Amino acid sequence: MTAREATLIPGDGIGPEITAATLQVLDALGIKFDWDEEYGGMAAVEKAGTPLPNATLDSIRRTRLCLKGPLTTPVGGGYRSVNVAMRQEFDLYANVRPTKTIVPGGRYEHIDLVIIRENTEGLYVGLDHTFKIGGDRRAMAQAMSIVTRDGSERIAKYAFEYAKRHGRKKVTIVHKANILKATSGLFLEVSKRVAEQYAGTIACDDKIVDNTAMQLVIKPEQFDVIVTTNLFGDILSDEAAGLVGGLGLAPGANIGSHAAIFEPVHGSAPDIAGKGIANPSAQMLAAAMMLDHLGELEAGKRLRCALEAAIVQDKIRTPDLGGRAATAEFARAVVKRVGS
């Protein structure tokens, strides 16, 4: 099997530990990668004086594929968020956040949903200003939300194609068109038109965002795929992760036309870095998403099944999941399950 070229950014804090564990599992699957290891975040500042070196960007441009650990954006110094900079640089318009119940015994036993968030428009475009009135330099603040027909159409199409590819049955369009009639109204209108192209194949409904937030808590099993705008998706995806135990089990993907970046959603956790107790599940699940993206659906499924078996059947769990397993022990358990 020919090795696939990909960029690897181990990241900051616990990043190198959970990345090393994930590479062990990928090796056990027999999927070969030719990794170009690069720096990002604080590690890059120490090496190159910037959290996002040109060498890292050049590598992603070449490979168009990246597995990254959590990165820390330095405080002060005018540094912008590394993740936001990557999204803008590579037009990573689709943020994909799957949420599934893995650890038994919680309140919610049957959650299995995916939130697909538009990643480049909305309130996060950065048009955020303060205005001086009289002698008060911050007397008024204003933020502008940008929603375009093209941007709405491509994220809606991505959501429906994702549902079709992964055997999902329904897409829920989440909006606030009752109040934000221009921006959210446009998103809803365009998404409904896209939905018509999948009639008879993928069911579709729509919900107002505040009702969606409530319904996620009351009856989350009603959701399959959610597609929504940037701010709403950011909030709802973290809410959904909380229903299944937090960000330790939350992978994410940022997909564009020219590159795809896969990562754990959680931060770099410097307080436990180097202690060998970090949970690598989110990084491993991000690698499974990367395999799906490459068309290696069976390998992605094997990875997920192995991880779930290690947690549920073998009861190998890191401290954040209520266990005592070390990062390396957890990795060995998943590798063993992959080979069984």
The pLDDT of residue 77: 59
| CA 205 vs CA 156, 170, 195, 325: distances in Å | 13, 8, 9, 42
Tell me what pLDDT residue 55 has. Answer: 95
Flag whether pLDDT at 1 surpasses 70: no
Flag the least confident range among 96-105, 157-166, 203-212, 214-223: 96-105
The per-residue pLDDT for range 245-273, each reduced to its tens digit, is 888 999 999 999 899 999 999 999 999 99
Q: Based on the domain organization, do 141 and 83 belong to the same domain?
A: no
Q: Residue 145 burial by CB count (10 A; 0-12/13-18/19+): exposed, middle or buried?
A: middle
Are 62 and 120 found together in one domain?
no
Model confidence at 76, in pLDDT bands (50, 70, 90)?
low
Are 293 and 320 contained in the same domain? yes
pLDDT of 94 higher than 80: yes
Tokens 């939300």 belong to residue: 145
Give a yes or no: residue 224 inside a domain: yes
Residue 322 included in any domain: yes
pLDDT digits (tens, 9 = 90+) for 143-184: 999 999 999 999 999 999 999 999 999 999 999 999 999 999
Active site residue 124: yes
Average pLDDT over residues 76-85: 72
Distance CA 66, CA 44 (A): 16
Instruction: Specify if 107 maps to a domain.
Output: no
pLDDT, mean of residues 73-81: 67
Out of 243, 259, 278, a domain closes at 243
Report the pLDDT value the prediction gives residue 221, as an integer from 0 to 100: 95
Q: Are residues 236 and 252 in the same domain?
A: no
**b (16+ CB within 10 A) / e for 4-26:** eebbbbbbbbbbbbbbbbbbbbb
Per-residue pLDDT at 111 exceeds 80: yes
Closest CA to 60 of 296, 300, 255: 255
**Catalytic residue (one of 27, 34, 150, 210):** 210
Residue 176 placed within a domain: yes
**Both 267 and 178 in a single domain?**
no
Indicate the number of domains in the chain.
Answer: 2
Reply yes or no on whether 234 is catalytic: yes
> Residue 137's pLDDT band (boundaries 50, 70, 90)?
confident
Query: For residue 229, what are the domain limits?
Result: 112-243
| 143/155 same-domain check | yes
> Confidence band (pLDDT; 50, 70, 90) for 225?
very high
Which residue, 243, 267, 296, sits at the end of a domain?
243
Residue 190 has pLDDT above 70, yes or no: yes
* Cα dihedral 132, 135, 140, 143 in deg (nearest 10): 30
Let me know if residue 101 belongs to a domain: no
Cβ contacts of 161-167, under 8 Å, gap ≥ 24: 162/96, 162/114, 162/116, 162/225, 163/198, 163/202, 163/224, 163/225, 164/198, 164/201, 164/202, 166/114, 166/292
Nearest Cα to 335, choosing from 30, 61, 62? 30
* Residue 66 clears pLDDT 70, i.e. is over it: yes
Give the CATH number of the domain where residue 56 resides.
Answer: 3.40.718.10
Interacting residues of 67 by C-beta distance below 8 A, sequence separation 6+:
6, 7, 8, 9, 19, 22, 261, 262, 263, 286, 287, 290
Indicate which residue of 93, 158, 207, 234 is catalytic: 234
As a whole number of angstroms, the distance between CA 142 and CA 325 comes to 48
Segment 299-338, tens digit of pLDDT: 999 999 999 999 999 999 999 999 999 999 999 999 999 9
Half-sphere exposure of 76 (CA within 13 A, CB side): 0
**Residue at 325 is within a domain:** yes
Which is catalytic among the residues 39, 93, 124, 158?
A: 124
pLDDT in tens, 194-213: 999 999 999 999 999 999 99
Asked if 210 is an active-site residue, the reply is yes
pLDDT of amino acid 82? 81
pLDDT at 81: 75
Domain end position, chosen among 243, 277, 304? 243
Confidence at residue 218, expressed as pLDDT on a 0 to 100 scale = 96
Given 39, 176, 207, 292, which residue is catalytic? 176
